[in-house]
Amino acid sequence: MNKNVTSQPNTALPRKSAPPTEITYHWEGDYLIPDIGIPEKEAKLPPLTKWGLMRKYYLQNHHRTLYTDLKMSGELFVHCHEIEEQAEERMRFMMKQMVAKFPISEDLKNTDPMKWVGHMNALKHQVEEVIKSDLIYN
C-alpha cells in the first residue's frame, strides 16, 4: 500500500519569542556556567525578618500569580522588604498608642512583673493582628 503524503505549510500562528536577553557564561572545567547573580538592589538590603518572610510565604501560598510576577521581575525581595519596613514602623507607632490608651503602672514591673508582662504581651498581640490583617494578608 503506497500512500502519498504531502506536507502542508504550517498555518499555525507564529510563536511569540521571549525578549532577547544576553547571558554570559564562564568555563568551570568542562562545563559552561551562566553568569547570573542577585540584582544589586537586592544585594544591598539586609535579609528578610518576621514580617517580610510572612508576606513572602503568604504570596507564595495564596497569591501565586502575584508572587510569580514579582519573582520574575526581580521585585519580590524589594516588595517584601518594603512591607517589612512598614510593619516595623506601624508596630512602633501603634504600640505607643496602645500603651497610652491602656496604661499600666511602671511600679507594677517591680511588684508584679508577670502581670506587667502579660499586659504588654496582650497589647503586642493586638497590634500584630492588626498588622497581619492590614499589611501581610492584604
| Contact yes or no for 41/78 (Cβ under 8 A) | yes
Q: What's the rounded Cα separation, in Å, for the pair 17 and 23?
A: 16
State the CB neighbour count (10 A cutoff) for residue 51: 23
DSSP 7: P
pTM, two decimals, is 0.69
The more confidently predicted of residues 64 and 23 is: 64
DSSP 99: H
Q: How many residues does the chain have?
A: 138
97-127 pLDDT per residue, tens: 999 999 999 899 999 999 999 999 999 999 9
| Contact yes or no for 30/110 (Cβ under 8 A) | no
Residue 36's pLDDT band (boundaries 50, 70, 90)?
Answer: confident
Grid coordinates representing 138 are 492584604
Residue 23 CB-density burial (10 A; 0-12 exposed, 13-18 middle, 19+ buried): exposed
The proportion of the chain whose per-residue pLDDT surpasses 70, expressed as a percent, equals: 83
Q: Is the pLDDT of residue 61 over 90?
A: yes
Q: What residue segments make up the domains of the chain, in order of their start? A: 47-136
6-24: average pLDDT: 59
